[in-house]
């Protein structure tokens, strides 16, 4: 299952990594800039520069053996997003944070990556509602995380329904089912990351396109 | 939630006065001027009748700093309160009752919601989130609310043409216990440059005295 870390960034036109490494810990295996096919019908970023960097990240040595992490960096100039895709097997979300931090530290002004993902309330809601939500937890103003009722009218009194929450409350985490052609898979959204329950690389690209489209 | 307020708060002047008194009585200026005024007042009665210059001085020492403070930090048009979201539990409740945020030792993180209640006739705001060394504070990914934007470099949430003056957002807090001092703080400051009204005619150097950025709320940690 791939974990996708997301950041906003601005890249100079024609930006490519200089050299074979980014900083000390990221080794670049290959760089390609082929345009992705359109998988998501509402996606209209096909004109943008899409840079794919395959990399191997060696964490700075702690105790014992540290195994390198392989993954891909996807830089999209049109939507202004950077995605770091890492397999969740053997790796945990903190590794993605480490990798993003390491890229951020070791690129200069030609690739400016924001420290945190702060997109606003509406884009995240658009993304979550682009598929079929299975579970949405929101943060309520009174404090506390609450699971919302996905029906328009709930039988439970005082339940927060999707109508109350949509666009008003920040999404804490969500599980959304996406259906492509004949099969479906789940994604989980939490903070600045997505976990996709499909190993198919075109499904990852599909979710990235959905996310990019939600930003508009 | 917004309706559960006492009746007097429904009146603009009452709200404003309340906020002013709350801020002013918290300030160092008040803590100096009020005992000083008392002392002068006592002296005035000891040495002479109440109508001598000393008693005027006593009143002056009490009133002038208050006027100065009012002009400096007005317009007192916002109330902010917060609730802790994560982690939840007994420790959090206990810390919150003392007005503090609880940060768990394992994760060194916390999340709070910040409720902002501006008075209705404002059309722009800028709130700066400021913290002591070793603490990082930033809004969640699905913040700020619609219409507002977040400036990462200055750590400011701002909006123009506000249509909803009462809103809330979440703040993530990361605490590096090796770096912080004993009593670390987070502050939310009102950094919007308000029109100073008639004061605008004063020379710039004098105006800078009034252009302070008042802290509206302070969080501390347990």
* Average pLDDT, rounded, for chain B: 81
Residue B169's domain comprises 78-221
pTM of the model: 0.82
User: Which of A113, A145, A171 is where one domain is finished?
Assistant: A113
Inter-chain contact B152–A115, Cβ cutoff 8 Å?
yes
Inter-chain contact A141–B138, Cβ cutoff 8 Å?
no
State whether A128 and A180 are in the same domain. yes
Residue A162's domain comprises 121-190
Instruction: Report how many domains make up chain B.
Output: 2
* Average pLDDT, rounded, for chain A: 86
Residue A45 lies in a domain: yes
pLDDT tens-digit series, residues A55-91: 988 887 666 667 888 899 999 988 889 999 998 777 7
pLDDT at residue B211, as a whole number: 64
State whether B121 and B179 are in the same domain. yes
Residue A195 lies in a domain: no
State whether A9 and A58 are in the same domain. yes
Look at residue A43 and tell me whether its pLDDT is greater than 50: yes
Helix axes B12-26, B28-47, angle to 10 degrees: 80
Look at residue A131 and tell me whether its pLDDT is greater than 50: yes
pLDDT at residue A44, as a whole number: 83
User: Which of B16, B49, B73 is where one domain is finished?
Assistant: B73
pLDDT at residue B1, as a whole number: 44
Q: Say what percent of chain B tops pLDDT 70.
A: 88
How close A106 gets to chain B, by Cα (Å)?
18
Look at residue A40 and tell me whether its pLDDT is greater than 50: yes
Residue B1 lies in a domain: no
pLDDT at residue A189, as a whole number: 93
Question: Within an 8 Å CB–CB cutoff, is residue B84 touching chain A?
Answer: yes
State whether B82 and B44 are in the same domain. no
State whether B28 and B102 are in the same domain. no
Predicted confidence band of residue A178 (pLDDT cuts 50, 70, 90) = very high
State whether A95 and A128 are in the same domain. no
State whether B82 and B143 are in the same domain. yes
State whether B200 and B146 are in the same domain. yes
Residue A135 lies in a domain: yes
State whether A86 and A16 are in the same domain. yes
Residue A82 lies in a domain: yes
Q: Which positions ≥6 away from B194 have C-beta within 8 Å?
A: B74, B75
- A114, A167, A171: residue with CB nearest B152: A114
Residue A137 lies in a domain: yes
Is the N-terminal amide bond of A13 cis, ω within 30° of 0? no
Inter-chain contact B142–A124, Cβ cutoff 8 Å?
yes
Residue B2 lies in a domain: no
pLDDT tens-digit series, residues B57-112: 888 888 998 888 887 777 788 888 888 888 888 888 888 888 888 888 788 888 99
Cβ atoms of A23 and A106 within 8 Å: the answer is yes
Q: Could you give the CA distance from residue A79 to residue A6 in angstroms, rounded to a whole number?
A: 12
Q: Could you give the CA distance from residue B81 to residue B219 in angstroms, rounded to a whole number?
A: 10
Look at residue A145 and tell me whether its pLDDT is greater than 90: no
Question: Within an 8 Å CB–CB cutoff, is residue B146 touching chain A?
Answer: yes
Residues of B in contact with A168 (CB under 8 A): 145
| Residues counted in chain A | 216
State whether A41 and A105 are in the same domain. yes
Residues of A in contact with B146 (CB under 8 A): 120-122, 167
Q: Could you give the CA distance from residue B28 to residue B196 in angstroms, rounded to a whole number?
A: 24
Question: Within an 8 Å CB–CB cutoff, is residue B74 touching chain A?
Answer: no
Residue B117 lies in a domain: yes
Inter-chain contact B140–A114, Cβ cutoff 8 Å?
no
Structure tokens at B73: 């930090």
CB atoms within 10 A of CB B87: 15
Residues of A in contact with B143 (CB under 8 A): 118, 120-121, 170
Inter-chain contact B142–A121, Cβ cutoff 8 Å?
yes
- A118, A142, A143: residue with CB nearest B139: A118
Q: Could you give the CA distance from residue B62 to residue B36 in angstroms, rounded to a whole number?
A: 8
Look at residue A156 and tell me whether its pLDDT is greater than 80: no
Average pLDDT estimate for B201-209: 72
Three-state DSSP class for residue B110: strand
State whether A99 and A45 are in the same domain. yes
Instruction: Report how many domains make up chain A.
Output: 2
Average pLDDT estimate for B217-221: 78
Cβ atoms of A40 and A117 within 8 Å: the answer is no
Radius of gyration of chain A from its Cα atoms, rounded to whole angstroms: 18
pLDDT at residue A177, as a whole number: 93
pLDDT at residue A3, as a whole number: 92
- B88, B142, B145: residue with CB nearest A119: B142
Inter-chain contact A141–B85, Cβ cutoff 8 Å?
no
pLDDT at residue A61, as a whole number: 66
How close B14 gets to chain A, by Cα (Å)?
25
Structure tokens at B177: 């216990």
State whether B37 and B118 are in the same domain. no
* Predicted ipTM of the assembly: 0.83
């Amino acid at each position: 299952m791939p974990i996708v870390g997301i950041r906003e960034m601005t890249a100079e036109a024609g930006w490519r990594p200089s050299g074979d490494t980014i900083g000390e810990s990221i080794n670049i295996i290959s760089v390609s800039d082929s345009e992705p096919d359109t998988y998501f019908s509402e996606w209209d970023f096909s004109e943008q520069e899409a840079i794919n960097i395959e990399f191997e990240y060696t964490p700075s040595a702690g105790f014992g053996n540290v195994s390198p992490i392989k993954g891909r960096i996807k830089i999209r100039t049109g939507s202004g997003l950077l995605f770091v895709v890492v397999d969740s097997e053997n790796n945990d979300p903190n590794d993605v944070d480490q990798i993003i931090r390491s890229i951020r530290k070791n690129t200069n002004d030609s690739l400016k990556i924001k420290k945190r993902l702060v997109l606003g309330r509406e884009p995240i809601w658009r993304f979550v509602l682009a598929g079929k939500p299975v579970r949405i937890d929101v943060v309520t103003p009174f404090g506390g995380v609450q699971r919302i009722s996905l029906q328009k009218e709930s039988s439970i009194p005082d339940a927060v329904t999707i109508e109350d929450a949509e666009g008003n409350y920040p999404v804490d985490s969500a599980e959304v089912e996406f259906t492509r052609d004949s099969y479906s898979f789940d994604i989980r959204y939490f903070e600045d990351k997505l976990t996709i329950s499909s190993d198919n690389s075109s499904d990852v690209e599909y979710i990235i396109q959905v996310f990019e489209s939600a930003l508009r | 939630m917004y309706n559960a307020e006492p009746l007097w708060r429904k009146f603009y002047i009452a709200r404003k006065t309340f906020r002013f008194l709350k801020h002013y009585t918290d300030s160092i200026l008040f803590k100096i001027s009020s005992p000083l005024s008392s002392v002068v007042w006592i002296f005035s009665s000891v040495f002479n009748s109440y109508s001598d210059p000393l008693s005027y001085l006593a009143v002056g020492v009490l009133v002038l700093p208050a006027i100065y403070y009012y002009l400096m930090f007005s317009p007192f048009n916002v109330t902010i309160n917060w609730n802790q979201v994560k982690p939840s539990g007994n420790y959090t409740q206990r810390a919150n009752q003392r007005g503090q945020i609880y940060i768990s030792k394992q994760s060194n993180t916390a999340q709070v919601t910040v409720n902002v209640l501006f008075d209705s006739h404002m059309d722009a705001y800028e709130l700066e989130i400021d913290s002591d060394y070793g603490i990082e504070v930033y809004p969640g990914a699905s913040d700020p609310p619609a219409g507002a934007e977040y400036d990462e470099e200055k750590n400011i949430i701002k909006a123009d043409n506000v249509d909803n003056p009462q809103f809330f957002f979440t703040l993530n807090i990361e605490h590096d216990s090796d770096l912080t001092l004993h009593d670390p703080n987070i502050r939310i400051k009102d950094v919007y440059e308000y029109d100073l009204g008639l004061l605008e005619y004063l020379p710039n150097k004098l105006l800078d005295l009034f252009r302070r950025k008042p802290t509206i709320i302070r969080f501390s940690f347990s």
